[in-house]
Structure 1
């Protein structure tokens, strides 16, 4: 079990959410505390759980976590999802192979906080750019 305290974009000044990640059987569980509410998500990997949590619980409040897992140019490979339970993902750049792995709950100066739909669209464009 790990606890992550993440700043959120779209909230009050210096607002944070608390996300606790844990393995529950074959599932990856995230428990998020935000504005007095608790949200629980169980998925096949932690990246997928974060996507669902963002869509279902954070984006309706106008919130985007400031972390690599919610950054426009970050997405895990299939192997990172299968072998690493989606805790690490690659930084992507259109037209270039992904090389740098980052923790999805970590943050850095190159995080581009994005809604899930924007992150998914960038991932599709990145894949297409490699086929060109």
Structure 2
């Protein structure tokens, strides 16, 4: 199937907290609007989901020993429903406790990041709910 959107990236990655490599990563949106994440390891990893955040989440789940140095791995980065539904899940908010997110806090999931990285989607989700509660004064 042909793609509607395609972007090739090189992303720095840590494998087993030891070796650091640059991995070839391809993002594709198919004409059926499914999103495909392709990561070139020793073998080809292909993950197809409804959006790129889900693709990245599945990659984290399947390869917890690999940390990609990108915003999508940062603890305090999580997409809004709007970014999921309208932007293929490529954008997300970089949240700060007690501070409302604005468009100044919008980041691309695959932009470079090296601080506060986690392979746990659950930890990111927990931080997201902690952030929501911090806005309510709880």
Normalization by structure 1: what TM-score?
Answer: 0.87
* 1:27 has 2:34 as partner: yes
Stretches of structure 1 lacking an aligned partner (at least 5 in a row):
none
Between the two proteins, the alignment pairs up a number of residues equal to 127
Once the two structures are superposed, the pairs formed by residues 1-132 of structure 1 within 5 Å of their partners are 1-11=6-16, 12-24=18-30, 25-34=32-41, 36-56=42-62, 58-59=63-64, 62-99=65-102, 100-108=105-113, 111-115=115-119, 116-132=121-137
Q: CA deviation at 1:128?
A: 1.8
Q: Structure 2 CA distance, aligned partners of 1:26 and 1:68?
A: 23
Q: In 2, distance between residues paired with 1:117 and 1:78?
A: 17
Q: How far did residue 14 of structure 1 move?
A: 3.2
Instruction: Report the Cα offset of residue 10 of structure 1.
Output: 4.1
The answer to whether the 8 A contact 1:27-1:44 is kept is yes
Superposition CA RMSD, Å: 1.6
Could you tell me how far 1:131 is from its partner in structure 2?
A: 2.4
Counterparts in 2 of 1:37 and 1:53: CA distance versus 1, 3 Å: same
Asked if the contact 1:3/1:19 (under 8 Å) is kept, the reply is yes
* Larger radius of gyration between Structure 1 and Structure 2: 2
Secondary structure at the counterpart of residue 15 of structure 1: strand
Question: Does the 8 A contact of 1:9 with 1:113 survive in 2?
Answer: no
Tell me the TM-score normalised to structure 2 length. Answer: 0.83
